Structure 1
Amino acid sequence: MKEVKIESVLQVYDSFKELPESIATLMNQAQEARAQAYAPYSNFSVGAAILLDNNKVVTGSNQENASYPSGLCAERTAIYYAGAKYPKAKMLTMAIIAGSNSKPTTEPIPPCGACRQAIAEYEIKQDQPIEIYFMGETGKVVRSQSLANLLPLLFDKSYL
């Protein structure tokens, strides 16, 4: 047997105020998208904003329905729209703001597993990492240089 150690390296900003201006703008767009979330079942709203290499920004929010959990997360709403609307554009940066509608959320909240897999698909498709910033409603902001950093041991088309 051989032991393998897998590490992820993340950068953590103490607050929104430490972010570069361009990222703060993208996070604000994610916050605006979060305000459009439809989350009557989980009471957990998420907004995502993606900067494309054509300088367009695509946003998404989580959308739930009574056939819970067949709704769609904010990250996948945004990434699938970007893929459909701008199929040749590369996704450069994704900003995510998430939190409970019933209590303060101060810890950074990363994408769920299903969203990580969807983001991974686009990183592989475009052969370029997607930089990801995520946070709760307030507090620290985490930066990952790529989705592969958040989801090592990717499952991709090479296994099919």
Structure 2
Amino acid sequence: MKKVTLETHLEVFDSVLELSEHIQNLMNKAQQARENAYAPYSHFKVGAALYLENGEIVLGNNQENAAFPSGLCAERVAVFHAGANYPSIAIKEIALTVKSLKYTVKTPTPPCGACRQALVEYEVNQKTPIEIYFMGETGKVVKVGSVKELLPLVFDSSFL
């Protein structure tokens, strides 16, 4: 039997102010998108901002629905919009931020499993990594250099 060790490499910043001006701007766009989220059931708002290779910024926020699980997460709203409107343009970076209407989220909150799978599909197809920056409502920001850092055992079209 052979054992394999998987590692994830994260960079942790104490605040948004430690990020480059470009990423601060992207996170600000994600925060603005978060405020427009439709989250009457979970009371948990998520905002996403994607920076594309052509300089475009695509926004997304979670959209809930009383017919669970018909809603959609912010990350997938944004990435599907980018795929529909900029199908051949690579995604360079994604900024994510969350906010609860019940308490202050201070812990950096990564994408859910379904969003990781959707994001890695785009990363594999474009053949270049997508950097992800994620945070709570306030506090620390975590950066990963690739979606594969969050989903190391990738399931993609090669298995089909």
TM-score range relative to shorter protein: over 0.9
Aligned to 1:17: 17
Tell me the SS of whatever aligns to 1:120.
helix
Give me the whole-angstrom Cα distance separating, in 2, the residues matched to 1:26 and 1:87: 21
Tell me the SS of whatever aligns to 1:27.
helix
Deviations 1:126-160 (A, max 9, x none): 00010000000000000000000110010000000
Deviations 1:30-52 (A, max 9, x none): 00000110000111000000000
Q: Does 1:70 align with 2:96?
A: no
| % same residue | 57
Displacement of 1:99 in angstroms is: 2.4
Aligned to 2:124: 124
Moved runs in structure 1, 4+ residues, more than 4 A? Answer: none
Tell me the SS of whatever aligns to 2:50.
strand
Give me the whole-angstrom Cα distance separating, in 1, the residues matched to 2:113 and 2:60: 17
Tell me the SS of whatever aligns to 2:41.
coil
Q: Please, which runs of 5 or more residues in structure 2 have no aligned partner?
A: none
Aligned to 1:154: 154
Give me the whole-angstrom Cα distance separating, in 2, the residues matched to 1:136 and 1:87: 30
Give me the whole-angstrom Cα distance separating, in 1, the residues matched to 2:99 and 2:7: 27
Give me the whole-angstrom Cα distance separating, in 2, the residues matched to 1:28 and 1:121: 26
Give TM-score, length-normalised by structure 2: 0.99
For 1:68, give the aligned amino acid: F
Q: Please, which runs of 5 or more residues in structure 1 have no aligned partner?
A: none
Displacement of 1:88 in angstroms is: 1.1
Deviations 1:55-82 (A, max 9, x none): 0000000000101222000000000000
Aligned to 1:28: 28
Count residues in correspondence.
160
Give TM-score, length-normalised by structure 1: 0.99
Displacement of 1:85 in angstroms is: 0.5
